[in-house]
C-alpha cells in the first residue's frame, strides 16, 4: 500500500512595503477584503445560531457583558491589544493586519444588525455549520492574499519563533487560554465551539492551496503550512 504525502503550501515571507510592491496587487486586495467581509459574516452566523462561538469570539462575547460594546467592537479592541504584543516579538504588521483588525469587527456588527435571530434548532444548526464552513473559506482567502498576517496569527507565529514550540502547540495554548478567559467573563461557548475547533484547521488546510496568490517575482519561503 502506498501513501501520498500531503502537499505543502508555500507562502511568501514579505515585509509590509514589499507586499504592496509585488505583482497581482489588485487581485490580492480584492481577495483580502472579500475574505475579511466573509469572515465577519461567518461570525455573525455563529452568533445568531446561539450554539457556541469560536474560541476568540467566546472572549469577545464575554467582554460585551462587562463593557458597553458590541461583539465586533470587542473584536477590534482585542485585535489592537494583541498587536501590542507584536512589539517585543518583533512582528511587523502589514495592510492585511490592520484591515483584519478593523474590517472583520465592523462587518460583524453590520451583519448582526440585519440578521434575524432564529428559534428553530434546525435553522440554528444550519447557521452554525454555514458559519464554520464560510470561516474556513474566509481564513484561506485572507491568508492566501499574502498581505500580512492577522493580529492573532502574528502572535501565534511570533510566540512559536521565540519559544521554539510548534505552531500547533502555540495555537492550541492560545485558544484554550482565550476560551477559559471568555468563560470566566460569561462568554458564549457550546457544541459550536468544539465543532469549530475540530473543523477549522482541516477546512483551512484544504482550501488554502486553491486560494494562495503568488504575488509575483519574489523569493518564496516555505512556511511549513500544510
What confidence tens digit (pLDDT) does each residue in 105-156 have? 999 999 999 999 999 999 999 999 999 999 999 999 998 888 988 999 889 8
Q: If pLDDT is split at 50, 70 and 90, which confidence band does 8 have?
A: low
46 vs 222, which has greater pLDDT? 46
198 vs 45, which has greater pLDDT? 45
Which residues contact residue 64 at a Cβ distance below 8 angstroms, ignoring those fewer than 6 apart? 70, 71, 74
Which residues contact residue 37 at a Cβ distance below 8 angstroms, ignoring those fewer than 6 apart? 103, 107
Tens of pLDDT, residue by residue over 60-94, are 999 999 999 999 999 999 999 999 999 888 888 88
For residue 58, pLDDT over 90 is answered with yes
pTM of the model: 0.86
214 vs 112, which has greater pLDDT? 112
Residue showing cell 474556513: 136
In this prediction, residue 223 carries a pLDDT of 40
Amino acid at each position: 500500500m502506498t501513501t501520498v504525502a500531503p502537499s505543502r503550501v508555500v507562502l511568501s515571507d514579505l515585509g509590509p512595503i514589499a507586499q504592496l510592491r509585488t505583482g497581482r496587487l489588485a487581485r490580492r486586495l480584492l481577495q483580502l477584503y472579500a475574505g475579511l467581509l466573509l469572515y465577519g459574516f461567518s461570525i455573525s452566523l455563529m452568533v445568531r445560531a446561539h450554539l457556541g462561538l469560536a474560541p476568540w469570539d467566546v472572549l469577545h462575547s464575554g467582554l460585551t457583558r462587562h463593557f458597553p460594546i458590541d461583539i465586533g467592537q470587542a473584536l477590534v479592541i482585542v485585535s489592537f491589544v494583541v498587536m501590542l504584543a507584536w512589539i517585543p516579538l518583533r512582528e511587523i504588521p502589514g495592510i492585511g493586519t490592520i484591515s483584519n483588525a478593523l474590517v472583520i469587527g465592523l462587518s460583524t456588527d453590520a451583519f448582526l444588525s440585519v440578521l434575524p435571530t432564529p428559534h428553530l434548532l434546525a435553522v440554528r444548526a444550519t447557521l452554525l455549520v454555514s458559519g464554520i464552513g464560510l470561516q474556513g473559506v474566509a481564513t484561506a482567502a485572507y491568508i492566501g492574499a499574502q498581505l500580512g498576517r492577522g493580529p492573532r496569527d502574528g502572535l501565534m507565529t511570533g510566540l512559536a519563533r521565540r519559544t521554539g514550540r510548534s505552531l500547533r502547540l502555540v495555537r492550541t495554548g492560545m485558544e484554550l487560554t482565550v476560551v477559559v478567559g471568555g468563560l470566566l467573563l460569561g462568554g458564549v461557548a457550546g457544541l459550536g465551539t468544539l465543532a469549530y475547533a475540530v473543523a477549522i484547521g482541516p477546512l483551512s488546510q484544504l482550501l488554502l492551496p486553491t486560494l494562495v496568490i503568488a504575488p509575483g517575482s519574489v523569493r518564496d519561503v516555505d512556511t511549513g503550512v500544510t
